[in-house]
Amino acid sequence: MAKHVDSSQYGRARADRDAPTEVFAAVGSPAEARGPRGETSPPPDPPSRPPRRPSDQPPEQPRGGGAGRGAVRTVGELLITAGLVVLLFVVYELYVTNLFSADKQNQASAALDEEWKKERRLQTDLLDGQAFARLYIPSFGTDYKFTIQEGVDAKTLEVGPGHYKGTARPGEPGNVGVAGHRVGKGAPFNDLDLLNSCDAIIVETAEDFFVYRVLPMQDEAAGWAEGKGTDPRCTGVTTLQDATQDGGGAYGATAGRKIVLPSRGDAVAPVPYRPEDQSTPSARASLLTLTTCHPQFSDRERLIVHSVLTKQYRKDPANPGQAPPELEGEAR
């Protein structure tokens, strides 16, 4: 017969055997821990730890440098804010102003088309901001086209290239001066420094297309006639310099591309860089001069491109869609 074990006694004995000794050491034996009816009383709460003496407290960490950290934080926040402002300004100048200028340029182009549709056009003085011509540079792509307005004030240049008042009209002897932005506001002259000698620059008026070509660069002048000047595209392009005169004569300082100070307004004089020249108009070359800021994102200097008139195409009223062959682009 199986022997039964008193589970109550077994449980109590096992509890007495397995209980941690450190828990009961402070309350006596297991018998003393039983209540009046034999129940085992719960162990009392452990005694609270005595308060630390002041010497037992961990030393407080010094808080030195608080003012310095605050100043650094303030400077950092200001730098971040300034950086964001600069970034927003760059985005505005490079992209937002281009959108505004594109819309204004489209309006000016549409107004010019309407003006050219009129049967009778009187040759009058140009008004400020008046559109009167179009500019094409085939080497910048067949879609490069900007309407030229009269004047070079800030409002006019927001629309597109502007014509220097008092300079020649397209096709006339002298110097047609045209200015344009290089960054933002449509940036019509952003790539002006990429033009090479003999590249075509075309100006369209109500009656004509005028083809100008960039003059030889300063380092090309000496061997022009035997060098690049033999290229068929360069027909009609010369250095304009007079080898019999000191300094090359009246046009000795006129090259295809120049970098000058902003004070050199005489770059658009009838004879560039010689405002004192008294030669008659018939003795002057027919030039077109484009000006813009240099370098990009700076107005410290001016980039100048000089070109000379080589061809003129009269428009045919019966063929309004006609265009000179140079507009279709040329291989460099």
Mean pLDDT, residues 242-264 taken together: 95
Query: Looking at 66-80, 205-219, 316-330, which range is the least confident one?
Result: 66-80
75 vs 239: which has the higher pLDDT: 239
**Which burial class, exposed, middle or buried, applies to 168 when counting CB atoms under 10 A from its CB (0-12, 13-18, 19+)?**
buried
pTM, two decimals, is 0.73
Residue range 150-178, pLDDT digits in tens: 999 999 999 999 999 999 999 999 999 99
The DSSP secondary structure of 234-298, one letter per residue, reads GTT------TTSGGGGGGTT--SEEEE-TT-GGGGSSSTT-TT----GGGS-EEEEEEEEESTT-
pLDDT band for position 5 (50/70/90)?
very low
Q: With residue 182 as reference, give the H or E element that holds it.
A: none
Structure confidence by residue, pLDDT tens digits, 92-104: 555 666 677 789 9
**List of residues 6+ apart from 26 with CB closer than 8 A:** 47
163, two tokens: 């014509």
Higher per-residue pLDDT: 253 or 83: 253
Q: What is the predicted pLDDT for the residue at 210? A: 98
Amino acid at 210: F
293 among known catalytic residues:
yes
Give the three-class secondary structure for 128: coil
Q: Which of 163, 198, 234, 293 is catalytic?
A: 293
Q: What is the mean pLDDT of residues 270-282?
A: 94
Measure the CA–CA gap between 131 and 150, rounded to whole angstroms.
6
The pLDDT confidence band at residue 26, using thresholds 50, 70 and 90, is very low
Tell me the per-residue pLDDT of 106-150, one tens digit each, with 9 for 90 and over: 999 999 999 998 866 666 789 999 999 999 999 999 999 999 999
Mean pLDDT, residues 45-63 taken together: 58
pLDDT of residue 3: 40
Average pLDDT of the chain?
A: 82
Task: Flag whether pLDDT at 48 surpasses 50.
Answer: yes
- From residue 272, give the alpha-carbon distance in Å to each of 7, 40, 136, 264, 265: 121, 117, 23, 10, 9
Confidence of residue 253 (pLDDT cuts 50, 70, 90): very high
More confident residue, 91 or 212: 212
Query: What's the pLDDT at 18?
Result: 42
User: Active site residue: 181, 234, 294, 306, which one?
Assistant: 181
> What domains are there in the chain, each with its CATH number?
87-118+130-328 (2.40.260.10)
